[in-house]
A and B are shown apart, each in its own frame.
Chain A
Amino acid sequence: MKLTKILLTTAAIAVAAGTVHAEGANIFVIGGKPDDPFWSRVKKGAEDAGKVAEAQGGSVTWLGPQNYDNLGPDAAELIRQAIDQKADAIVGPDWVPEAMDPAFQAVVDAGIPLVIYNAGGIEAADRLGAMNYVGAVDYKSGYAGGEYLGKAGHKNGACVNTLPGAANIEAFCNGFNDGLAAAGGAGSTLQLPATAFGDATAVAQAVRAHLLENPTIDAMFAIGDQDTNATISGVQQAGKTGAVHVCGMNFNDSILANIQGGTQACAIDQQGYQQGFFAVSILNNFVNYGVTIPTREILTGPGVIDATNVDLVIAGVQAGAR
């Protein structure tokens, strides 16, 4: 009886000792699918910051869903997995607050330092008691796109939403519509069924059909780089090249080439690398040394890429910085 008690006490002390982080910080990062071009950049940022954590005896573990069919509940499950695996600190995006907030609450209740990144904004960080928010503000990103196209003189916009129901995507589209409205235009949202996500042909044909049905549309906004490429193809197939101007979130090589070539007006960059890098760095330094960043809401975007600065961005890509 007494022996058991001693053993239990020893075990409890051992567990407690584990949380003093003599062996560095084990940081769990919840993010998108690792094969998603945007998220692979966030992951690289997190892993690069993880090199410091590893040098101090810690680690960075990436947890991403297999697909986006059931985004909120799947991501909530990943957060709980991170808690179960005794994370010293957790980074996560608040994509679907209704489904994910209870899991984030469990992180805070367990006393694990939390940083919200990519989606949710400082509001989510405040509501959940997280240390900070690192990321672009989705609404402002969409707003920048709408404002850009509106100031260029375009009046009727449509935001292509291939992932209806995700809070950050709704915010992109609301921001785009408001930004366009502020510059004197008007915007609407083209909602695609879930069967279209990730299928360039389905997105392109939907855009084309929408443009044929609504001939006055002269501005479009897409929520990711693959969708942007598909949207531009849809515009071309509708015979509207030059008449419909496209801005999109994020960028890749072909988008930069399109901006250079004039088939795309602008790309809104939220600089995913920075999101992964700073979220992990903030937590690693806090767990190891107790230091904090007093600035709340670390903005990584929006940055507008258009014909005037695209060459600089391409130089950045070649240098491996973007």
Chain B
Amino acid sequence: MSKNREGRSSRLSLGSLARRPEAGSFVGLILVYALFAILGGAVFVGAPGWSSWLNIAAEVGIVALPVGLLMIAGELDISVGSVIPASQMTTAIIAGYLGLPIVLGIACGLGVGLLVGLVNGHLVTRTTIPSLIITIGTMFAVMGLTLGFAVLIAGSTSVFLVPDPVTKTILGTFLFGMFNVSILWWLVFATFVFLLLHVSPVGNWIFALGGDRDSARNAGIPTSRLTIGLYMLSGFAAALVGILQLMTYQNAQVATGQSFIFNSIMCVVIGGVLLTGGAGSVIGIVIGTATFAIVNQGIFFSGLDPNVGSVIIGVMLLAAVLSNDGFRAIALKYSTRKG
């Protein structure tokens, strides 16, 4: 693996800034915020506007972070869309329907996410089937199991759970009546993933994995264990979002979560992660998530037709991929001239 990312941030020049994977997405974030600040006015710029898009960003952001790590490592995870309802239904059935302790319910809910990740990781590392296909398969399997068990055990496709005040405060409350506590969880998780990718040695392994899997394995990186670990992190994050939604809305539904599949991938790509793997950053993913959420919510403050929001998201996605290619070309040119 020849790609050297060690001295990346040591020199602060125009070239090194442009070479940062999140450069293009940061420009996009500023443009989008300015647009909706003008259209949305005081309400959007004030606390109600911020809480509005931060609440959206937090949930999709928690899923997007590990999905981003997987994409940097050259893999996809579609199964997050059904882990969200699976974990929330598991928790609701154990703690709500069966009336067992809520800690047990949450542990089992998170366990479902880890288990799906474990299965995904083993299937991806032990077969040559693309991870897109494998995780579509596990997505449908988990969806069917969730529906089957929910109807079998609870006799219903939606299960009620009224959390105790402590659990509600930690996982499902609104700070100042408007900021969902999930925003804090997103920040904690983003810090953890930042340290993992950019500070710990595992980070370089992840980049190496996405750059060239065979060379990474030859260099002594435990590629299989790393891949399995990343899928388990992704399953865990999706399960956490499922539980956060459950504690907020106090109702588990077997049909929720599908929108997170594409939304998380869009956040990651807008954030400058290379689809082919090997490049990307946590700050970029956070910026991409914020951009996505601002467009999604800003549209309701702007008086524009909400469908315009989807158009903007689509255009931004394409612009992100194009500008990534552009920035990468500049970066490569710059480094060859230097070398």
**Interface set of A (CB-CB < 8 Å, partner B):** 33-37, 40, 66-67, 164, 190-202, 204-206, 208-210, 212-213, 225-226, 229-230, 233, 237-239, 252-254
Pair B245/A40 contact, Cβ less than 8 Å: no
Pair B251/A254 contact, Cβ less than 8 Å: yes
Interface 9-mer from B204-212, B274-282, B295-303:
B295-303
> Complex Cα distance A241/B69, Å?
41
B303 partner residues in chain A, CB cutoff 8 A: 213
Q: Does B224 contact A (CB under 8 A)?
A: no
Least CB distance from B149 to A in Å reads 11
**Interface set of B (CB-CB < 8 Å, partner A):** 40, 43, 48-49, 51-53, 55-56, 59, 140, 143, 146-147, 150-151, 156-158, 160, 174, 177-178, 180, 245, 248-251, 253-260, 262-263, 296-297, 299-301, 303, 305-307, 309-310, 313
Ranked nearest first, the 6 interchain pairs of A and B with the lowest CB-CB distance are A209-B300, A35-B254, A35-B147, A199-B259, A193-B310, A37-B158
A210-B305 in contact given A195-B259, A198-B256, A201-B56 (Cβ < 8 Å): no
A202 partner residues in chain B, CB cutoff 8 A: 56, 259, 296
> Complex Cα distance A253/B155, Å?
13
> Complex Cα distance A182/B235, Å?
51
CB<8 Å pairs between A and B, sample of 25: A34-B147, A35-B147, A37-B253, A66-B140, A193-B306, A195-B259, A195-B296, A195-B310, A195-B313, A199-B257, A200-B245, A200-B253, A201-B248, A202-B56, A205-B56, A206-B297, A206-B306, A208-B52, A212-B49, A213-B40, A226-B256, A239-B177, A253-B160, A254-B160, A254-B251
Partner of A200, one of B40, B174, B249, B263: B249
Given A200-B249, A205-B52, output 12 extra A-B contacts at Cβ < 8 Å: A37-B156, A193-B299, A195-B296, A196-B259, A198-B259, A199-B257, A201-B56, A201-B248, A205-B297, A205-B300, A209-B49, A237-B51
Least CB distance from B62 to A in Å reads 12
Least CB distance from A227 to B in Å reads 11
> Complex Cα distance A33/B255, Å?
9
B143 partner residues in chain A, CB cutoff 8 A: 35
> Complex Cα distance A36/B253, Å?
8
Pair B259/A197 contact, Cβ less than 8 Å: yes
A201 partner residues in chain B, CB cutoff 8 A: 55-56, 59, 180, 245, 248
A254 partner residues in chain B, CB cutoff 8 A: 158, 160, 250-251
A210 partner residues in chain B, CB cutoff 8 A: 300
Least CB distance from A319 to B in Å reads 14
A36 partner residues in chain B, CB cutoff 8 A: 157, 255
A194 partner residues in chain B, CB cutoff 8 A: 310
> Complex Cα distance A229/B156, Å?
17
Partner of B255, one of A196, A198, A212, A229: A198
Partner of B256, one of A40, A67, A164, A200: A200
Nearest to A232 among chain B residues (CB) is: B249
Least CB distance from A122 to B in Å reads 30
A193 partner residues in chain B, CB cutoff 8 A: 296, 299, 306-307, 309-310
> Complex Cα distance A156/B174, Å?
27
> Complex Cα distance A213/B306, Å?
14
Nearest to B309 among chain A residues (CB) is: A193
